[in-house]
């Protein structure tokens, strides 16, 4: 076997003795399941990537089938208050997205993507099986109480022992789901070779199919599974999810001989931790007279900047750090490149902080908005639409506006701004924030009308009045999701792009946790008068107005940060040391295109 290096692009290509390319990418060689260089004709491609799509489809069916209808089970069957039920749901979703960081770290640092996905999918399957048992065993529920909405104080709320199995199930699912979410797309893209133009094009289509699977899985969950849960039984609904996940694990394992594998290269989080640790350790040392005296200043791939200057101390070459091989030991002294990469990550934090509130608004769709629907008329003829199925309008809106981006919004923006990109990532985020604010205004108006009709006119408003708020949140996600993903991927350092997905997922996580915090604070400050299990006795519209005001203030802060943000210039210089010879991998190239392709081509 020979190894050919393209000096300009720094792409490593492995060639077999017969001249057949069997692996490549700047992140190192590609292997088969036996650890040998992968044979391109027998591994990877759409066969391997398609099996990865199956895992993502199953994960969406499980998670959305649980999160979009769990609140009705907590309130209606376990007799938990609406506020507490909403907090349980948002904490579950927040933890799931937060654990995506852990899943990404484990895959990068030790396990690799394939093993992490297999273990995570298995854990998810176990969690859904436990959830099926928790909702099926009668001893895990308090005695039935038909009047829980009007006389909630007379109903027996589920106790700690009954909730223990439910919590165990939810957080087992969160642990597995986080690992799947952060790795399955990367593992799927590993099945394509970026140095092959045909495979690179197929890899872009893979991400379109990936997004399509997310949407299809979500729609199946909110239409079919929610109906089964409400009309057949929770055990049947969650049992279908469990069976789907078990099948996905078996299918994934059966395809092992056909995958291409990449060895873990170490987590970017380790680099960030080392730089911060060394900067703190050397905090009392004086700055050198000129930045050129910092470690490997002249070999840096990223130009030195004065921002966050305190981190420069991590690259100070004192007598100990500058002697012998110590200057090459990353735990003794950092390089300028490493420090500047950490600075680039820190520059993302202001925008990151203003993205959180969008997902706080989004979380209301799976909690209080579903509760609203249970108090409204949901009939289409003789058929009663399950309250959780109204989330269908969110996903329809997402698919519609994602497609409209290509046909209407992007071409129009190109004509108005003369920018080939059309809408920038920050502009997309801004549009998403505005739409989320309008959604909360619509939700507040509808809830006020619903409550007045119910109390003063003894009439039940149609649940289809909720469609505008679902539709607006979906439209907002079509802009905000793509904009945030594109922003974090494009603006992250070249070799820290794998962590950028984790940053994006953390905004979702924090959004759900902020929702839990807000609900708890509002419940305490208003003495439980706004958020009640009987919405007719509460003031849910005031909570929606509060969210609209918070989003408006947040949007003002976002405009300030966005106006000051300078988009990163793309640099393609050579490596400066052995640790930094990991240049743009196939996953990196695809990641840069992901946000654009979703917006430009749709599912």
List pLDDT tens digits, range 590-602. 444 444 443 333 3
Q: Can you list the alpha helix ranges (DSSP code H) found in 284-325?
A: none
Residue 516 token pair: 């839990």
109-126 average pLDDT score? 89
Say if residue 5's pLDDT is above 80. Answer: no
- pLDDT, residue 591, reads 40
The larger pLDDT score, comparing residue 464 to residue 15, is at 464
Residue 586 has pLDDT above 60, yes or no: no
Residue 397's pLDDT band, with cuts at 50, 70 and 90, is confident
Lowest mean pLDDT among 160-174, 211-225, 439-453: 211-225
Of 80-89, 193-202, 314-323, the least confident:
193-202
Residue 152 pLDDT: 45
Q: Is the pLDDT of residue 427 over 90?
A: no
Q: What tokens were used for 418? A: 């003369």
Res. 546 pLDDT band, cuts 50 70 90: very high
If you average pLDDT over every residue of the chain, what do you get? 79
Dig out the tokens for 336 from the structure: 């300028």
**In this structure, what are the phi and psi dihedrals at residue 4, rounded to the nearest 5 degrees?**
-115, 135
Q: At what angle do helices 540-564 and 425-456 cross, to 10 degrees?
A: 170
Half-sphere exposure of 559 (CA within 13 A, CB side): 8
**Is residue 507 within 8 Å of 359, Cβ to Cβ?**
yes
Distance CA 425, CA 565 (A): 12
* Residue found under tokens 């506006």: 401
Q: Is the pLDDT of residue 15 over 60?
A: no
- Quickly state the pLDDT bin for 420 (edges 50, 70, 90): low
Residues 6+ apart with CB under 8 A from 517: none
Percent of the chain with pLDDT over 70: 83
**pLDDT recorded at residue 210:** 74
Q: How confident is residue 205, by pLDDT bands cut at 50, 70 and 90?
A: low
Q: What is the pLDDT of residue 386?
A: 84
Rounded distance between C-alpha atoms, residue 210 and residue 199, angstroms: 16
What the chain holds in terms of domains, given with CATH numbers, is 43-266 (1.20.1250.20), 268-334 (no CATH), 347-566 (1.20.1250.20)
Number of Cβ within a 10 Å radius of residue 184? 27
Higher pLDDT, 351 or 101: 351
Degrees (nearest 5) of the Cα angle 264, 269, 273? 135
Question: CA 78 from chain center: how many Å?
Answer: 29
102/95 Cα distance (integer angstroms): 11
Instruction: Output DSSP code: residue 318.
Output: -
- Alpha helix positions (H), 151-233: 160-189, 197-220, 226-231
What is the H or E stretch that residue 3 is in?
strand 2-6
Residue 160's Cβ-count burial label (10 Å; 0-12, 13-18, 19+) is: exposed
Query: Is the pLDDT confidence value at 385 over 80?
Result: yes
Q: What is the per-residue pLDDT for 1?
A: 37
* Element (DSSP H or E) covering residue 12: strand 11-15
Distances in whole angstroms, Cα of residue 284 to Cα of each of 220, 279, 308, 313: 59, 9, 16, 9
User: Confidence band (pLDDT; 50, 70, 90) for 497?
Assistant: low
Helix (H) or strand (E) holding 21: strand 21-24
Query: Is 90 exceeded by the pLDDT of residue 272?
Result: no
Q: Which of 30-39, 294-303, 368-377, 430-439 has the lowest mean pLDDT?
A: 30-39
Which two tokens mark 300? Answer: 């840096």
Bridge-based pairing state of the strands 11-15 and 21-24? antiparallel
Is pLDDT at 134 greater than 80 in this prediction? Answer: yes
Q: Helices (DSSP H) in 492-534: which residue ranges?
A: 497-525
Find the mean pLDDT for residues 100-119. Answer: 85
For residue 179, the Cα-to-chain-centroid distance in whole angstroms is 11
Residue 480 to residue 128: CA distance in whole angstroms: 30
Tokens 């209407």 belong to residue: 408
pLDDT at res. 33: 67
Considering only the C-alpha atoms of the chain, give the largest distance between any 2 of them, rounded to a whole number of Å. Answer: 85
In angstroms, the Cα distances linking 163 to 67, 125, 276 are 16, 20, 41
The number of angstroms, rounded, from the C-alpha of 3 to the middle of its chain's C-alpha atoms is 37
DSSP class of 4: E
Which pLDDT score is estimated for 421?
Answer: 65
CA nearest to 492, candidates 223, 302, 208, 239? 302
pLDDT-derived band of residue 201, with 50, 70 and 90 as boundaries?
low
Bigger pLDDT: 126 or 42? 126
Does residue 320 carry a pLDDT above 60? Answer: yes
3 φ/ψ angles, rounded to the nearest 5 degrees? -130, 125
482: helix, strand or coil: helix
Whether the per-residue pLDDT at 345 is higher than 60: the answer is yes
Q: Map residue 149 onto helix, strand or coil.
A: coil
Q: How far apart are the two ends of the chain, measured CA to CA in Å?
A: 40
DSSP state of 224: I
């Amino acid at each position: 076997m020979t190894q050919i290096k393209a000096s300009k692009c720094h792409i490593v290509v492995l060639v077999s003795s017969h001249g057949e390319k069997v692996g490549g990418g700047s992140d190192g060689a590609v292997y088969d399941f036996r650890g040998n260089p992968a044979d391109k004709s027998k591994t990877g491609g759409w066969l391997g990537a398609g099996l990865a799509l199956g895992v993502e489809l199953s994960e969406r069916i499980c998670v959305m089938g649980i999160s979009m209808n769990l609140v009705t089970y907590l309130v209606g069957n376990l007799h938990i208050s609406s506020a507490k039920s909403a907090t349980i749901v948002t904490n579950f979703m927040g933890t799931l997205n937060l654990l995506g960081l852990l899943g990404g770290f484990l895959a990068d640092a030790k396990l690799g993507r394939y093993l992490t996905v297999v273990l995570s999918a298995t854990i998810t399957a176990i969690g859904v099986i436990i959830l099926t048992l928790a909702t099926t065993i009668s001893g895990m529920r308090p005695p039935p109480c038909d009047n829980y909405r009007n006389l909630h104080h007379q109903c027996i709320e589920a106790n700690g022992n009954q909730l223990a199995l439910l919590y165990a199930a939810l957080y087992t699912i969160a642990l597995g789901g986080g690992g799947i979410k952060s790795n399955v797309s990367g593992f799927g893209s590993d099945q394509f070779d970026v140095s092959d133009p045909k495979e690179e094009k197929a890899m872009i289509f893979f991400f379109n199919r990936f997004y399509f699977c997310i949407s299809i899985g979500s729609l199946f969950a909110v239409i079919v599974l929610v109906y089964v849960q409400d009309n057949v039984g929770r055990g049947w609904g969650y049992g279908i999810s469990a069976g789907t996940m078990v099948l996905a694990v078996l299918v994934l394992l059966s395809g092992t001989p056909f995958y291409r594998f990449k060895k873990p290269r170490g987590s970017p989080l380790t680099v960030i931790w080392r730089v911060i640790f060394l900067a703190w350790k050397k905090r009392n040392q004086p700055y050198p007279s000129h930045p050129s005296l910092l470690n490997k200043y002249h070999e840096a791939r990223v130009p030195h900047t004065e921002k966050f200057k305190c981190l420069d101390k991590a690259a100070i070459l004192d007598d100990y750090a500058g002697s012998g091989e110590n200057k090459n030991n990353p735990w003794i002294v950092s390089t300028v490149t490493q420090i500047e990469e950490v600075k680039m990550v820190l520059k993302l934090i202001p925008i990151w902080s203003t993205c959180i509130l969008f997902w706080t608004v989004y979380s209301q769709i799976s909690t209080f908005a579903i509760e609203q629907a249970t108090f409204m008329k949901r009939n289409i003829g003789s058929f009663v639409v399950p309250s959780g199925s109204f989330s269908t309008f969110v996903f329809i809106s997402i698919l519609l506006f994602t497609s409209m981006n290509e046909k209407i919004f992007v071409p129009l923006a190109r004509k108005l701004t003369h920018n080939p990109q059309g809408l920038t990532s920050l502009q997309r985020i801004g549009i998403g924030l505005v739409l989320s604010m309008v959604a909360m205004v619509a939700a507040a108006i509808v809830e006020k009308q619903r409550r007045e009709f119910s109390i003063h006119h003894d009439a039940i408003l149609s649940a289809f009045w909720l469609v505008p708020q679902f539709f607006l949140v979906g439209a907002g996600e079509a802009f905000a999701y793509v904009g945030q993903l594109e922003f974090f991927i494009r603006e992250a350092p070249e070799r820290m792009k794998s962590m950028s997905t984790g940053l994006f997922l953390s905004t979702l996580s924090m959004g759900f946790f902020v929702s839990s915090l807000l609900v708890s604070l509002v419940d305490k400050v208003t003495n439980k008068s706004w958020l009640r299990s009987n919405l007719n006795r509460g003031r849910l519209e005031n909570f929606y107005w509060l969210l609209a005001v918070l989003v408006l203030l947040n949007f003002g802060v976002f405009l300030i940060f966005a106006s000051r943000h300078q988009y990163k210039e793309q640099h393609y210089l050579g490596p400066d040391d052995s640790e930094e010879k990991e240049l743009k991998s196939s996953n990196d190239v695809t990641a840069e295109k992901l946000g654009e392709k979703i917006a430009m081509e749709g599912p």
